Amino acid sequence: MIEVKIPDIGDFQDVEIIDVLFNVGDRVEPEDELLTLESDKATMPIPCPVGGVISKLHVSVGDRVSEGVLVLELEEDTTGDAPEKAETPSKSESEVMPVPEAGQHKARQESVPDTKPEPVKTGTAAKSIIPPTPERTERSDAIPHASPAVRRFARELGASLHRIRGTGPKGRILKEDVKTWTKQQLEESNKKSAAPGLGIAPMPEIDFSEFGEVEKLFLSRIKKLSGPHLHRSWVSIPHVTHHDEADITNLEDFRRSLKDEAASQGLRITILSFAMKVLVNAMKKFPTFNASLSPNGEELILKKYFNIGIAVDTPNGLVVPVIQNVDRKSIFDLARDLAEVSERARDSKLKPSDLRGGCISISSLGGIGGRGFTPIINAPEVAIIGLSRSKMTPVWNGREFEPRMMLPIDVSYDHRVIDGAEAARFAAHLVHSFSDVRRLAL
């Protein structure tokens, strides 16, 4: 006689039994689940440590147990599967496969092929030949064999237990069966959808050659990779863009004064180098702009480093290499980094490490034109800065109009993390810093 007791279940005491999976006389195998316990924190299956035949049960559904409580008694089963193999065939089986009489043995061999028999559609033999289907058909009259915890789990997922095939003892439906079935249903649903998870109707297919001559160009590899990323960012992040402009007249004068010194080092100082320093200064004052939203949407991860992505236009498409530790570098260091990373980007020599670790990005169209645009956030960042082409504009100073060099600034931000007032204050800080670069030393 073998006694089976509740094993070590940690710190849990007086845990309720919500399901007993075997009865007296049933044969169990090692690791078969005997009971299901449920505490206020978890559902715990209790496996059988050895095999045998249950001779006595000491617990029932609703009992409360702790470690060491006697569950059942087992008798060792020495017959194993022998009785099952020596089972006498039923009447229908003997009709389908009659025992040959003397003199009929040769004819019997000729009439029965050596290959495996085809499935029999009727009779008890069909049950032993036809394998069970992976999914049950919907039946309202049959009660699925599942524990209360599994039933509750299925209800939470909206899964129908009538359609799930159990893989546990005696066809019992386990939690993993519910998960597997639900996952299969989602995958099938996604395959049928033109835009998985978005519910957007597919674009209609149009044969444009009906209207005139056309030419097809294949997208570059960069555009194929960046396209889905941009699409996901645009539809999954609530974008808001704040527009402003900064007076960079004094900054432009200072930049030009550095021209000869930069040329002696083989460098070219642009507004972008100053923009990076201005941006770091603003991120220190407004740390939510240097953050990422956790995948569950419940936490904000604030970053203590300052890496800035720079959108670079290349012949193959847009890439965003990252300049590391901008807060620790001078204007000349940043000009050097910008020149090197832009050259590698145009030559398709960027390494994966060059594209990772960004905190916020800058998209500058100053060399091309435009008065403003709405840059798309480079997720998982929460904001991006857009710079358009600066131009000389008459500005009223209180007494008269005077010519000032104005730089359009666009700040797109994730409205789940940043509200409008904070974005306005952030943009105002950028404007003030651009207007007077001496603020960077404060």
Q: Which residues are catalytic?
A: 415
> At a CB cut-off of 8 Å and minimum separation 6, what does 243 contact?
372, 408, 409, 410, 411
Closest C-alpha among 70, 61, 77, 78 to residue 25: 77
Q: Are 309 and 361 in contact (CB under 8 A)?
A: yes
Positive or negative, the CA dihedral 281, 282, 285, 286 is: negative
Side chain identity, residue 223: K
> Can you spell out the DSSP letters for 413-426?
EETTT--HHHHHHH
Distance CA 319, CA 324 (A): 16
Q: Are 233 and 222 in contact (CB under 8 A)?
A: no
Give me the helices (H) in 160-268, please.
Answer: 175-192, 221-236, 249-257, 259-264
- Within 10 angstroms of residue 234's Cβ, the number of other Cβ atoms is 13
Q: How long, in residues, is the chain? A: 442
Number of H helices, E strands in the chain: 12, 19
Side chain identity, residue 317: G
Element (H, E) at 36: strand 33-38
Q: What are phi and psi of 240, to 5 degrees?
A: -135, 140
- Within 10 angstroms of residue 23's Cβ, the number of other Cβ atoms is 8
Distance CA 348, CA 350 (A): 6
Side chain identity, residue 76: E
Assigned token pair, 303: 């970053």
Distance CA 351, CA 374 (A): 28
Element (H, E) at 37: strand 33-38
Side chain identity, residue 198: L
Closest C-alpha among 197, 231, 233, 230 to residue 414: 233
Element (H, E) at 342: helix 331-346
Distance CA 374, CA 363 (A): 10
